[in-house]
Amino acid sequence: MPSDDPHRRPDGVDDATVAAVGRVTEAIEWVERARGHLYEAHQLMGHADGLFGEAADALAAAGHPTQAARLREEVVGRNVVDGRWTFQLVEEFDDGYWTEVRAHERRVRDELLDGRRHVFESEMKEDRRTHGRPGHESRP
């Protein structure tokens, strides 16, 4: 691999360090997946709230004003958790936990791998690919 390869292990870094930093990165990837699910829940709940509003309108139009009013007053716009809609959960997650763990992951990479990303995976690729075979190139 060329010496300027951003995925190459820096000189003097041992296997245990590469593996340990790889675990930190793997943990971040799981946090990113969880964040995606949190955004998914945010959008699903927003859509459901809109549908409840449409359902209240349909109930009223069908001659059921009591049920429509109760749905609008008790369900439409209701907090998902105490005092919060899902956008507030997303913001708190992003501004707190997500921001903090990403900073720690980056600091570990900066301190131990000169900021290089996916060194563990890059080495795994080199070990697993068939050198010289089309579709198994090291880099684009």
Task: Tell whether the model's pLDDT for residue 2 goes beyond 80.
Answer: no
Mean model confidence pLDDT for the chain = 95
Task: Tell whether the model's pLDDT for residue 1 goes beyond 80.
Answer: no
Distance CA 42, CA 84 (A): 11
DSSP assignment of 71-139, as one string? Answer: HHHHTTT--SBTTB-HHHHHHHHIIIIIHHHHHHHHHHHHHHHTT---HHHHHHHHHHS-TTSTT--S-
pLDDT in tens, 103-123: 999 999 999 999 999 999 999
Distance CA 98, CA 81 (A): 20
Q: Which of 104, 121, 140, 117 is nearest to 10 (CA)?
A: 117
pTM over 0.75: yes
pLDDT in tens, 51-77: 999 999 999 999 999 999 999 999 999
HSE on the CB side for 105, CA within 13 Å?
19
Per-residue confidence band for 139, with pLDDT thresholds at 50, 70 and 90 = confident
